[in-house]
Amino acid sequence: MTNTTPKDLRNAFGNFATGITVITSIDTKGKPQGITINSFSTVSLDPPLISWCIDREATLFNLFQQAEHFAVNILSIDQKPISELFASSSLDKFSKQSWSSGIKSLPLLNNCACQLLCSTEHRYPGGDHMILVGRVIQTKNNGSSPLIYHGGKYKQLK
Ligand SMILES: Cc1cc2nc3c(=O)[nH]c(=O)nc-3n(C[C@H](O)[C@H](O)[C@H](O)COP(=O)(O)O)c2cc1C
């Protein structure tokens, strides 16, 4: 039970500043797919685990529920258009963005602040979302400044 309205809850959750990631994988036809996510969190150093949550209503829910591997592309300061693109219903998002293939054919977006290539370790129910825990199998860190999301707005570190 909660006496908080959905709007209050959104505002409260939105007051937690996060980075922005695009989680990518390939579908059963080998086509790259991706979704903008800010529910990413680090979990454990040993073993190296991270988590994120996907809406059960998302178009890519089935893909990520079944994916054995995925990549976390942590967006850099100038990649707001990429966040907007991968949060949209645009078809063929990858033709509008430069990218390359990493291990396990994982799609890696160019010029990100950092990338974590993961195998799916656990899947947990999380209300209207599913919680995915990934084991990091490779990191690519270029150290550039990250894009920040806070209160429903894109921001920069000062
Ligand atoms: C900044 C930002 C953060 C988001 N974070 C999440 C998230 O953590 N989990 C999620 O399922 N969707 C998240 N979304 C929404 C998805 O990117 C996507 O827009 C939504 O699932 C609708 O996709 P669909 O029309 O293909 O179903 C986020 C969107 C934005 C703009």
Q: Residue 21: CB within 6 Å of ligand 1?
A: no
Domain 20-151, CATH: 2.30.110.10
Q: How far is the CA of 87 from the centre of ligand 1 (A)?
A: 5
pLDDT surpasses 70 at 152? yes
Q: How far is the CA of 47 from the centre of ligand 1 (A)?
A: 28
> Residue 149 corresponds to which tokens in the numbers above?
């999301």
DSSP assignment of 86-149? HTS--S-GGGGS-EEE-GGG-EEETT-SEEEEEEEEEEEEETTEEEEEEEEEEEEE--PPBPEE
Write the pLDDT tens digit of every residue in 13-40: 999 999 999 999 999 999 999 999 999 9
Has this prediction a pTM greater than 0.85? yes
Give backbone dihedrals phi and psi of 84, rounded to 5 degrees, phi first: -65, -40
Domain limits, the chain: 20-151
Determine the Cα–Cα distance for residues 97 and 12; give it in Å rounded to an integer.
33
